[in-house]
Amino acid sequence: MKKRDLRLITDLNREDLLAIFQLSAEMKADPRAFSKALEGKTMAMINEKQSLRTKVTFEAGIQQLGGYSVYLTNQDINLGKREPVKDVARNLARWVDLVVARVFSQQSIMDLAKYADIPVINALSDEGHPCQAIADLFTVWDCLRERGDLEGFNLTFIGDGNNVCNSLILIAGLLGFHLTVCTPSGYEPDPSMTWQGREMSHDWGGAITFELDPVKAVKSADAIYTDVWTSMGQEKETDERKRVFQGYQVNEGLLSQAPNHAVVMHCLPAHRGEEITDGVLESDRSVVFEQAENRLHTQKALMKYLFDQSA
**DSSP tag of 141:** I
Residue type, 192: S
User: What distance in Å separates the CA atoms of residue 303 and residue 98, rounded to the nearest whole number?
Assistant: 8
Establish whether 132 is a catalytic residue: yes
Q: What phi and psi, each to the nearest 5 degrees, are found at residue 17? A: -60, -45
The count of residues in the chain is 311
Helix residue ranges, H only, 256-287: 278-281
Q: Which of 131, 165, 182, 267 is catalytic?
A: 267
Establish whether 5 is a catalytic residue: no
Q: Which of 4, 7, 53, 129 is catalytic?
A: 129
- Nearest Cα to Cα of residue 173 among 204, 146, 201: 201
Establish whether 267 is a catalytic residue: yes
Q: Give the number of other CB atoms < 10 A from CB of residue 176.
A: 20
Cβ neighbors of 214 (< 8 A, separation 6 or more) are: 158, 182, 247, 248, 254
What is the longest distance spanned by two Cα atoms in the chain?
55
- Nearest Cα to Cα of residue 160 among 105, 231, 210: 231
Q: Give the number of other CB atoms < 10 A from CB of residue 33.
A: 10
Instruction: Write out the H or E segment, with its range, that includes residue 169.
Output: helix 163-175
- Beta bridge partners, 210, equal 181
User: For residues 182, 187, 190 and 192, what is the CA-based torsion angle, rounded to 10 degrees?
Assistant: 80
Q: Which of 196, 227, 241, 291 is catalytic?
A: 227
Residue 301 exposure: Cα atoms within 13 Å on the Cβ side? 24
Q: Which of 249, 295, 297, 299 is catalytic?
A: 295
Q: Which of 102, 178, 241, 266 is catalytic?
A: 102
Establish whether 32 is a catalytic residue: no
Asked if residue 251 lies in contact with residue 283, where contact means CB atoms within 8 angstroms, the answer is no
Q: Which of 64, 106, 132, 291 is catalytic?
A: 132
Residue type, 223: A
Establish whether 129 is a catalytic residue: yes
Establish whether 295 is a catalytic residue: yes
Catalytically active residues are 102, 129, 132, 227, 267, 295
